[in-house]
Structure 1
Amino acid sequence: MNRRSIYAKSCIAISSLLLVIFSLPLSASNLPSFFDFNEKNARAQTPARDLALEAQLDALMDADFVPSDTQALDELLRDVDVNTPIETFVRAQGYQILRLAMQDNLTAALVIAEEVEQLATAADNLNAIAEINVIIAEAHVANEKFDKASTRVERILELLPRVSNVRIRFHANHLVARILQNNNDTSDALEYLLAAQALLPLTEAQGQQRRRHFLSLHLARIQANLGRWAASMATAENAIEDTRRTGIRTHLPDLYLVRAYSKQYQNGPSQSIVDAFLEAAQVARDMGNARVEMLSYNNAGATKLHLNELNDATQYLQQGLVIARRIGNINERSVTEFNLGYIKVLQEQYDAGITEMLAAAEVFNGFALKREQAILLTHIARAYELAGRYQEQAETLKKQAALRQEVAETQREQQINELQVRYEAAEKSYEIKLLEQQAELQRQELASQERKQDFVVLAGAFMLVLLIVFAGVYRKTRKLNLLLNEANAELQEQSLRDPLTGLHNRRAIYDRLLRDEQRIYTGNHAVFILDIDHFKTINDKYGHSIGDEVLIEFGRRLKQATRSSDMAIRWGGEEFLLILENVQTEQVMQVARKLLTEIGEKPFHTSAGRLHITLSGGCTVMTSAKEQMPPNWDDTVRLVDELLYQAKNEGRNRIRYQPDSGPRETIYLRP
């Protein structure tokens, strides 16, 4: 039997296919052979792709993996037979394989995939071999068998440098990024996501926006997995806005969910966060995405649980559980069952609640990221504490600390920062390229219309059209220049910002203050250096991820306590520098007291629970005028740093202040 047999096999209805496959035991001896490939004929086939069929497949592709119009796909597959070039053959059969895999028929999918792989290997076509390896790995990912998918990664990476088909290279890089992300290898995942993004403009034009949205979704997920909530929110929000412009809504439910999830961790639980999750559930329900609807209800319930509104929490969690059971989602529904068990603990049903939490956690840990597992251990430890089972609480906290340390060690912070900036810069360039392409298409369309006009009869109309064209091109050019300037300004601003806290960095002082003589010569400038007390203890006890959460919240409170015209700088590690321009002595002291209050009297909410944070600092005022010599910046910093260490030695939780004249004064609040 030859390749015509798989053509016939793939074109029948899926129900008939399953009947044939599963009516017999699945073994090599009784499965019918779909292919009896003639190698001599295969070598004689040229070219490797059928451009007409490829164009039809491109037109059908309105989703990430399989066309949504299954009937149209079946009709097209009828044209795929023994004479179809091998690369087009593998691509077309790949959609059939992935369709079966996504319908929970992985066994049937792999039976076809194995035969297709043999054909690709016999044809000795690198593009075809690479694509079937990507398809098989994708089929395993669709069924959450990431260990099986990972076994294909080495072969894909071996073939990738020699693959000439851009579509296959894009899919391969994107697939490897998702598998690495699942394995907690975030920095390498970003590398491959960036490689896929670089290939995006080279793929066929009609699929670029769809692929771009898919990339944005996974970038937002990676940012959320790293705890970069603001960046994740921004990425998701931009992609949601893009769907309104392009009309491509495939990932809209997932984007709403990621945005609400990141907003919750950025801003803390509130009714507005619950509403955001319910909005995600509504969008998912409207688009028939039951999985996202289930997860949205679970997160709405979890937020209500944080707000201690247990009845509402139970209601939303039960709604999610009903959906999970209906769609047979065992893994992710474990989160819902965990939360319901935690509610029982809060209702003093300790033994039953803890038993349900542990059973759900065992399922959850089988597929979840280590960072997510660490969060779950926080709640288990809290449940043991409420139940008075302190020994088990201590053991759980030890496990959590070890897991967080492991996560921290696998995240290469600086490399990830650089990759993210590169990704965002490339995204801006791509947006500008799209606008340029649209302007060029409009120009070509207008030029084509103009050629068809009779110059003598319609000379007046031609001149009018020409003026409109010039005006349109001028507006487009202005818009493109504005976008380019905005992109350059944004990149310049990023170079002056600390990537973790969003505050200014040391370079910003020179760029924004010291380089401007008019500013440094005029008025009074208060200079603070602030240090988080016992920060090393926080890192050692809770891990660097919790330390990062403290740094982010500390920076947020600094900005909240100062004016928009003031400069808040991450000076290094846990040290921060503030510059207040044009202030009086009374204002300086008010700011100092406000900082001590905002930091020391309000607990920090972190993944490890509420932490009490205090600060120590030094402060002085630089006074200068045009007729005087400018103040010495380095001397001022050394003085303020000395005042900081005096505040530390005096017992911490205070700011040591020296005015521009007179004795030194210590301002402090007792905890």
Structure 2
Amino acid sequence: MSSVNSAGKQAARSPVGRRLGPAYCAHRLLICCLSLALLGLGLSACKPEPLVEPAPASSAAPAADIDRAPATGASDASVMKELERIERAGPVKPVESERYLLALQARVKPGSAELLELLILRSNLAINRRDTASAESHMKLMREWPNPRLAAEAKLAQHVLRARLLAQSGQLELAKKELSDLNSYSAGPTSALRRAYSLLGALQSDTGNADAALLNLHQALKLAEKTGEAWRRVDLLGSLANTYVEAQQLERAEQTINEALLEAERDPDTYMLLNVQTMRGIIYAELGKHALAQRAKQEALAHARRSGVEDLLSLALANYADYHLKQGNYTEALRLAEEALPLAMKTQDLSSQAVALANMGLAKIALKRVEEGKRDALAGIAIDAKRGANSGASIGWQELGAYLEKAGDLPGAADAYHRYRKLIDQALRADTRKAVLEAQARYDDERRAQELELLNRDMNLKSEQLRERDLRLKLWAALGGCVLLSGVLLGLAYQRIRKTNLALASSNAALRVQGERDPLTGLSNRRHFQAAIKRLADQGRLSGTVFLIDIDHFKRINDGYGHAAGDSVLIEIAKRLRSTLRDEDLVVRWGGEEFLIVVDTRDAAYAGTLAQRLLDHIGSEPVSHGGQSIPITASIGFASFPIAPQGLALSWERAIDLVDTVMYMAKAHGRNKAYGIQSIAAEDEASLLLLAARMEAAWHEGSVQLLALQGPEPVSPPT
């Protein structure tokens, strides 16, 4: 498991077409008939000129120097410059920074913006060293701020500092609530609003809400760019890159962190380079560029040791341990994690403790110390879960499941996979199951181009409407001569407007279809599924057969063959599913490498036959990509609802959870298999859920009847 000092998916904008009814011109045609004739061929003539704004200028911040004494009798502007210099050096020179700020405080005007900014810096330094009492005393001064013009600014600063204290103690949800009303504040003379957006974005990223995190981090980046300090921009780019990783937009993450590195190298300092190299190491490891990942993590560790700051060093050690885990160097990974853990505990850094414990546990499991390792890994996951860091907890369960599977602990692996799936599914269902980022960054550009095209069409239409009104006023004098032509022009106008309406209706329909289709595979997405499931769920209870399919070792395909090859595999799997199923069957790309199928039948025999056919069609032959032959198999879980023998009806959410459980059993029992539920000896839903929670044991006891199917022997690529 890797981590960075907190960092988040930008919400897509949906262009809306404007409708025009045929009656719009019918009752005015006798007045403006000539204008319609003149405009008949000109409705698409106007193209709005693009607006080009100059890029904001930025200047490199001077390297921080805390050791020189504060100036006496300094102006307000020079005081702010001094505070910027101290803020930059603070993470690696906390003692010198506090001493300097204390000396400077006596020379700053009471009630001024400079004093408020100084107290913000002192509070942050106090929070960094876990000195809650000092932080509270500074916040008390803010509550009693004497200058009414800065009262709102002081109140916002208190919320930001209170949120930091809550986050530090692991109360991430309460911390987010402290920052829930940022829209009511405007940017003032201090850093309070920028810090608020940055912290809120980091908290949202940590708790799995990447969409909102990206919006708030971009807002913080805009405020940082206005200061003209390049190092602030670097910090925010690092946070954005981390959030792109959480959203699995790895190409965008790599582009963002390389932009940050170029900026950092113009005016480098230890803390900035440590953060940038840490993030580069995580991104390159995800992309499978292992040599670059090792170099970046080595540089991050060197910067952390050079800083002398224990919490920075503990995080760098824990991240480097993660690299060695992924390379199979388990002894070295364990050594680094064991070095990181006491430092993280000494500084009370919960995030670093969670990463160190998780990596210690995984290394021990790989070294055949399974029970000891499982305890350490579960302790790390528990820290993230208690903090509300859902992103870290879900990754922890996923990695624990993989390592337990390799170690032969199949029940433990199945349980870990199921818990991982629960956390991921909760994140995907939040906010009425809003659309998930399933396409890579290259599709973002395509969507933006479509949005711009639709916006231009709308602007052209409005421009033509304005021109039509102007011409109508000028053509009153020609009314008499238009009487003979009015009938013909009426027909032409009606046809023209009808064609425009049809085009707009077609465009709107295309947008609706696009919003319910996965852009990569062309299959339905979760949004379409929610609308379609209503016909199969009578009063919320599902009737039919559900299949959940997961491509085996998909991450290995991405790492070994590249993400473009992974896309080819997803596209080919979608084709094979469509060719196997009927037109009326519902096929959904459920997320990542998972596919969901709902068939309108309750025939258990047909369900087993179809599951075997799906296994055979998916694994029968490898996928071709760029001259390479990629062998593929899948793990499938399925069940028919209501559940036999009692005919228990379940909601579609419960039904998918049940199928998800047996799908992970198929994975835990060797993959390339399909497990189907034939019956469950339960009289009501509550007892059924209890048996489902211990599915493996219930199967062996005979309380659950499962059908186990084996897929074809995977075809090896030619040598």
Which aligned pairs between 1:525-540 and structure 2 lie closer than 5 A?
540=548
| Map 1:234-249 → 2, pairs under 5 A | 234-249=255-270
Residues 309 and 541 of structure 1: CA distance in aligned 2, closer, same or farther (over 3 Å): same
Structure-2 change in CA distance of 1:121 and 1:338 (3 Å): same
Give the AA of the match of 1:599. Answer: I
Alignment match, 2:305? 285
Partner of 2:116: 90
The structure 2 residue matched to 1:109, chosen from 121, 124, 135, is 135
Q: Which residue of 1 aligns with 2:392?
A: 372
* Distance change in 2, residues 1:574/1:209 (3 Å): farther
Whole-angstrom CA distance in 2 between matches of 1:399 and 1:228: 24
Alignment match, 2:366: 346
Output aligned runs, 1:620-631, within 5 Å. Answer: none
Structure 2 counterpart of 1:198:
222
Q: Is 2:191 the counterpart of 1:177?
A: no
CA-CA distance at 1:398 after TM superposition: 1.9
CA distance in 1, matches of 2:628, 2:672: 12
Q: Kindly indicate whether residue 287 of structure 2 is the aligned counterpart of residue 266 of structure 1.
A: yes
Q: How does 1:592-607 map to 2 (within 5 A)?
A: 597-600=628-631
Matches within 5 A, 1:235-634: 235-267=256-288, 270=290, 273-367=293-387, 369-382=389-402, 384-385=404-405, 389-410=409-430, 412-413=435-436, 540-541=548-549, 556=563, 558=565, 574=574, 597-600=628-631
Deviation at 1:347, TM superposition (A): 3.5
Distance in 1 (CA, whole Å) between partners of 2:436 and 2:575 is: 18
The 5 A counterparts of 1:99-178 are 99-119=125-145, 125-141=151-167, 145-158=171-184, 160-161=185-186, 163-165=187-189, 167-178=191-202
Cα pair 2:623 2:631 within 8 Å, conserved: no
Distance 2:426 2:550 in 1: 12
Contact (CA 8 Å) 2:194, 2:224: kept in 1 or not? Answer: yes
Question: 1:299 offset after TM fit, Å?
Answer: 3.0
- Which amino acid is 1:188 matched to? A
Question: Which residue is equivalent to 1:15?
Answer: none
Higher helix share: 1
Contact 1:64 1:211 in 2 (8 A): no
CA displacement, residues 23-49 of structure 1 (integer Å, 9 cap, x when unaligned): xxxxxxxxxxxxxxxxxxxxxxxxxxx
Shift of 1:139: 4.7
Aligned-partner Cα distance in 1 for 2:633–2:521: 26
- Name the CA distance, whole Å, in 2 between partners of 1:669 and 1:415: 28
Whether the aligned pair in 1 keeps the contact of 2:331 and 2:363 (CA below 8 Å) is no
| Cα separation, 1, equivalents of 2:104 and 2:188 | 25
When residues 332 and 53 of structure 1 are mapped into structure 2, their CA distance, relative to the original with a 3 A threshold, is same
* TM-aligned CA deviation for residue 236 of structure 1: 1.9
The Cα RMSD (Å) is: 4.9
Question: More deviation in 392-401 or 408-417?
Answer: 408-417
Do the aligned residues in 2 keep the contact of 1:117 with 1:129 (CA within 8 Å)? Answer: yes
Give the structure 2 partner of residue 212 of structure 1.
233
Relative to 1, partners in 2 of residues 1:415 and 1:130: Cα closer, same or farther, differing over 3 Å?
farther
C-alpha displacement of 1:418: 8.8
- The aligned residue for residue 511 of structure 1 is none
> Aligned pair in 2 of structure 1 residues 542, 371: CA closer, same or farther (>3 Å)?
farther
SS at match of 1:250: helix
Q: Report Cα offsets for 1:464-521 as digits up to 9, x if no partner.
A: xxxxxxxxxxxxxxxxxxxxxxxxxxxxxxxxxx9xxxx9999xxxxxxxxxxxxxxx
Alignment-mate amino acid for residue 82 of structure 2: A
| Pair 1:79 & 2:99 matched | no
Verify the 8 A CA contact 2:361 2:376 in the aligned structure 1.
yes
Partner of 1:33: none
User: How far apart, CA to CA, are the structure 2 residues paired with 1:127 and 1:306?
Assistant: 46
CA distance in 2, matches of 1:559, 1:391: 29
The 2-side partners of 1:334 and 1:291 are apart by 13
Q: Quickly say closer, same or farther: Cα 1:573–1:370, change in 2 above 3 A.
A: farther
The C-alpha deviation readout for 1:567-590, integer Å capped at 9, x for no partner, is x999899579xxxxxxxxxxxxxx
Deviation at 1:177, TM superposition (A): 2.0
User: 5+ unaligned residues in a row in structure 1: which ranges?
Assistant: 1-49, 426-497, 507-536, 561-567, 577-590, 614-650, 655-666
Q: Classify 1:63/1:217 alpha carbon distance in 2 versus 1 (closer, same or farther; 3 Å).
A: farther
Aligned counterpart, 1:657: none
* TM-superposed deviation, 1:612: 7.5
SS in structure 2 opposite 1:598?
strand
Distance 2:546 2:256 in 1: 30
Separation in 2, partners of 1:420, 1:99: 42
Q: Deviation of residue 367 (structure 1)?
A: 3.3
The verdict on how the C-alpha distance between 1:386 and 1:211 changes in structure 2, with shifts beyond 3 A counting, is closer
The answer to whether the 8 A contact 1:401-1:541 is kept is no
SS at match of 2:387: coil
Contact 1:277 1:300 in 2 (8 A): yes
Could you say if the C-alpha distance between residues 66 and 152 of structure 1 is closer, same or farther in structure 2, counting changes exceeding 3 Å? farther
Contact 1:116–1:132 (CA<8 Å) still a contact in 2? yes
The alpha-carbon distance between structure 1 residues 137 and 573, as it changes in their structure 2 partners (threshold 3 A), is farther
SS in 2 for 1:119: coil
Give the conservation status (yes or no) of the 8 Å contact 2:113–2:150: no
Aligned-residue offset at 1:235: 1.9
Question: Which residue matches 1:527?
Answer: none
Shift of 1:105: 0.5
2:638 counterpart residue number: none
Q: Secondary structure at the match of 2:254?
A: helix
Report the alpha carbon displacement of residue 113 of structure 1 after superposing the two structures with TM.
Answer: 0.6
Amino acid at match of 1:70: E
How far did 1:215 drift? 1.1
- Decide whether the 8 Å contact of 2:288 with 2:559 is kept in 1: no
Residue 516 of structure 1 is matched in structure 2 by: none
Contact 1:297 1:317 (8 Å CA) reproduced: yes
Number of equivalences: 433
2:76 corresponding residue in structure 1? 53
* Structure 2 residues without counterparts, runs of 5 or longer: 1-72, 449-513, 523-544, 577-621, 636-663, 674-710
Q: After superposition, what is the alpha-carbon deviation per residue over 1:49-68, rounded to whole angstroms, capped at 9, x for unaligned?
A: x9923531323313657855
Separation (CA, whole Å) in 1 of partners of 2:269 and 2:570: 40
Q: Distance in 1 between matches of 2:379 and 2:569?
A: 46
| 1:184 alignment partner, SS class | coil
Distance 2:373 2:623 in 1: 47
Distance 2:252 2:631 in 1: 27
Q: Is the 8 A contact 2:246 2:391 kept in 1?
A: yes
Distance 1:198 1:371 in 2: 26
Cα distance in 2 for partners of 1:240, 1:127 equals 32
In the alignment, the residues of structure 2 paired with residue 551 and residue 94 of structure 1 have an alpha-carbon distance, to the nearest angstrom, of: 45
CA shift in 2, pair 1:558/1:92, >3 Å: closer
Indicate the structure whose relative CO is greater, using CA pairs within 8 Å and at least 6 residues apart: 2
Pick closer, same or farther for the CA change 1:124–1:258 going to 2, 3 Å. closer
SS of residue matched to 2:180: helix
1:116–1:303 distance in 2 versus 1, CA, 3 Å = closer
The one-letter code sitting in structure 1 at the alignment partner of 2:375 is T
CA contact (8 A) 2:117 2:191 kept: no
**1:259 Cα deviation from its structure 2 partner:** 0.6
Q: How has the CA–CA distance of structure 1 residues 539 and 152 changed in structure 2, closer, same or farther, with 3 Å as cutoff?
A: farther
Separation of aligned partners in 1, 2:556 and 2:188? 44
User: What is the deviation of 1:293?
Assistant: 3.0
The question of whether the paired residues in 2 share the 8 Å contact of 1:596 and 1:668 is answered with no
Return the alpha-carbon distance in structure 2 between the equivalents of residues 181 and 300 of structure 1: 22
